[in-house]
Structure formats: structure tokens, C-alpha cells
Structure 1
């Protein structure tokens, strides 16, 4: 992965710096995979996994940190995300980033983990003609009790352990990353968040992967995706695997992703 660079977008009335890193940009004729991180993720937290995926799939890659994460512009002190925060990322931030990077002509593959998986689904729902396919790991399409319970535990850990210090390795502002994510997920109105109906508009192929031991969601999440998407959906349910399949079972995820992209590239007219 190349050293991170920055793209500037206009979002919510201010200039926001987005941390970006490219993988194998010299593969100019190869497909582009865009990696969307989890609720506490960043460019650095992916480590070398995106490069492994791109090598296996013979692809180029774009890894970026969403606003408030990594080296991207932190949240302002008074900035509190609302129930539509993932919709805003999908409908506003991602198109603005693609425009800033002059990728409007591309039809990328989106590879999203957790919140990043949900944002990928929402982007493909709003812009079905702009996506070649989706790989989503442990995505959320509705809120479950187990998710909220473990996010409450994360809040306790952040207040009482060295978790802020650990997150500071990956974020310029650990508070920006943690509280932006934690407060909205524990905001009572967010319990009604549900994107199932929006999945009907997705027309690209989808690979949905989840660990059987996922502590932040049940298999009802990816099975719910398979019941709704219009472009076809493959499910991979991995034993001995928690909420981060790319960390717990990286080889399984890499093989499944490369096979999925290779197969569906052949089938594209």
C-alpha cells in the first residue's frame, strides 16, 4: 500500500481532508476495489489486508478513512451524528470523494466491513449503475439487541481501560472516532434504523460474509441481504470467526473475494 495522501471534499459546508492510500495503481486496466472500514476503523487499521485482496484478485485498490477517522479531518467538538449518518456517507461523502479523485468514470467494487458494509449497500442502492459488485463483511441492515449490548460494553471499556491509547495509534483524534460511532449507535432513536427496503434497488452481485461467532450481529443480517438484493447474493458463513472475518479468517475471506470478483468479471458483458 502506498503512503497515505489526502483528497479535499466539501462536506457539510466545510473543507474536509480525506486520508487515502492506493494499492497497485500501476495496474491501470485492472478493476478498482474501494475499501470501506468499520465503525472504529481507518486506513492504518486495515494493515496489509487490502493489498492481499488486490494481489489475489489482480486488482487496484483505494483505501480511505472516513471523516472523523484516521488522519482525515476529525469531527468538530459540537458535531453529533444523526440517525442518517451512514446514508450521508453513502450519498454525500463517497460521491464527493470519487469526484475529487476523478473516478467518476469508474465502476468500482466496494469492499466494506461492518458500518462500511452498510455504507456500501446504501451506495449501491442509490447509485446502482455506478457499482460493479459488493463484498460486505459483517454488515448491518437493522439494529439488534446484541449489537447495542456490545457497543455499551465498548463504551465502558473506552472510559475505564487503555482503549483510547490503543485507538490513538490509528486516529489523529481517538475521541472523534470513538464518540462519533458510539453515541449514535446508543442513541435511542437509532434502534429503529433499518435499510432492508432500500436493498431492493441493488442490481450488482453481492458477496456477504459473516462469522458465526460475530459478537455484533447475528446471521439474520446477511441472510436478510440475500432475501432482498436484486443482483444475486452469495453468502459465506464462517465458523470460528467473530465480527472481523478479515482478521479472524483472512485466507478464507481472500479466496472467496478473489473468486467472486473473477467470476463476475467474466460474466459482465
Structure 2
């Protein structure tokens, strides 16, 4: 079984163009859901490293990764972002992306902001979503979220810091704008009302909710509250010795958990 990777540019209307990487299995089992990877607040396709390829090989599923508006090869954004930008990404733009890509059943796999978007997508897309996996998702702003972002801003602005240069390897001339879009949105007073809990009861698919035990951007209560909101369809998993990026900081544990979860969905279909 082999997989062919293609870079695609999807036109979503309203002058929005989205860049995606699509891996399609040849000789694989028909009817498997496509894994859709949703990146973090400062992410892009390249920042997933080899995770798409590893998940394709482990699960036998097609894998689809895309860059949201403002990121990578996708259309630019303007600031300020609206307070409900994550809800817009999950409720409006994610369905448009999946339709433009011609995807059937999917498993949404989201990291950080991408995890929050995955939860909204699972709530609105119904049976199209066979399962949802989140890693370090947020459904509200907690004390660690604010403290972690403020610390990142200090490091970004510190004299001699290499953080801007490291991010610029992925984001180029968009680096400062994306960093501002992230920290200015999450720390402005109006964003304190951000709360995705009302959406969770509409998620009817199996859900794997992961977070690192040493995540400095979110309390363990985020996992507990997501699982409580979804109900018995959700399972929480805290990864020891892991921070905010499970798929890179604890790759074997995180990818094994995702692979087993996807396998259970395939077996049940």
C-alpha cells in the first residue's frame, strides 16, 4: 500500500483560497474516513513535521492537512480578529474546506486552536464526522492560558530573542501579524467571555481528548470539562512528561493513541 501526496489550492468563495496537502492511499481499504489535521494558532502544514505521513502509514487512512486563512499559502487576514473567530473557523470555513476538497467521512484531529475548531466542526457537521481527536484544545480562557501567552510575548519581544526568526522560517513576512493575531485576541478583555461549552452537547461522535500533563497553556480541567460536555462518547487522556505539543513532545504515545482510536472507529463502521 502506497500513498500519493498532492498540494492543492482550494477556492472557497468570498476571495478565500486555502492551501492543503492531501495524501491518498492506493490499494487501501475503501470506506475509511479521511484524517483531517487542524493546526495550532501559530501553525502551518510544515509544522506538523512527519505526523501526516506517520498517521497515514499507521492507520491506512487518507490524510488531509490545510492552512487556515492567514497562514502559509492561504489567503491573508486582517486584524483585529473577531471574538468568535474560532467558532467561525469551525462552523463556516471548515465545512467549506471539506466540501471543496470533496471529502467523505472524516476524523478531525486538531491541536490547540485546531482542537477547539475540531470540536465546533464535530458539533455542526453531524454524521460527516466519524470521530474527533483534540490535543491541548481550549474551550475557555484559564489562568495558564493567559500566563503562557504573556510569557511567550515577553520571550518574543526580548532583545536578542531568536523566537521571531524561528517562527519566520515557517511564516515569513506574516510572522509578526500572526503572532499579534494570536496574543492580542486571547488577551484582550473582550475575549474573557470565550466559552465553547454550549457546543459540546451536539457532538455525537466518539471523541479522544488529549493533553500533556505539563501543558503550560491549559489546565487539566480543560480535558475534564470537554469530556463532561460531550458525555460518555468522550475519553480523556493525560500524557505524562508532555507539554503543549503532544504529537511532537510525546509522539509515540500520542500517535499510538490516535491510531488505536481510529482503528476502533473503523472496526465499528
Distance 1:8 1:175 in 2: 26
Alpha-carbon distance, 1:192 to partner: 1.6
Alpha-carbon distance, 1:71 to partner: 2.0
The number of residue pairs the alignment matches comes to 261
Q: Paired residue for 1:62?
A: 64
CA displacement, residues 153-184 of structure 1 (integer Å, 9 cap, x when unaligned): 21222223232221111124112321211111
- Match of 2:254, SS state, is helix
TM normalised by structure 1 equals 0.92
Q: Please point out which of 131, 137, 140 is paired with 2:138.
A: 140
Distance 1:184 1:263 in 2: 37
Q: Paired residue for 1:226?
A: 227
Contact 1:7 / 1:100 at 8 angstroms: preserved in 2?
A: yes
Contact 1:67 / 1:75 at 8 angstroms: preserved in 2?
A: yes
**Cα root mean square deviation, aligned:** 1.6
Unaligned runs of 5+ in 2: none
Query: Deviating runs (4+, > 4 A) in structure 1?
Result: none
Distance 2:64 2:9 in 1: 12
Is residue 2:83 matched to residue 1:83? yes
Contact 1:42 / 1:69 at 8 angstroms: preserved in 2?
A: yes
Is residue 2:30 matched to residue 1:32? no
Unaligned runs of 5+ in 1: none
Matches for 1:106-255 after TM superposition, within 5 Å: 106-160=104-158, 161-172=161-172, 173-230=174-231, 232-255=233-256
TM normalised by structure 2 equals 0.92
Distance 2:87 2:208 in 1: 21
With 151-160 and 31-40 compared, the bigger mean Cα shift is at 151-160
CA displacement, residues 1-41 of structure 1 (integer Å, 9 cap, x when unaligned): 7353311222xxx4122110012343472320000001111
Contact 1:37 / 1:116 at 8 angstroms: preserved in 2?
A: yes
- Match of 2:169, SS state, is coil
Is residue 2:19 matched to residue 1:16? no
Contact 1:69 / 1:176 at 8 angstroms: preserved in 2?
A: no
CA displacement, residues 33-67 of structure 1 (integer Å, 9 cap, x when unaligned): 00000111100100111211121111110011111
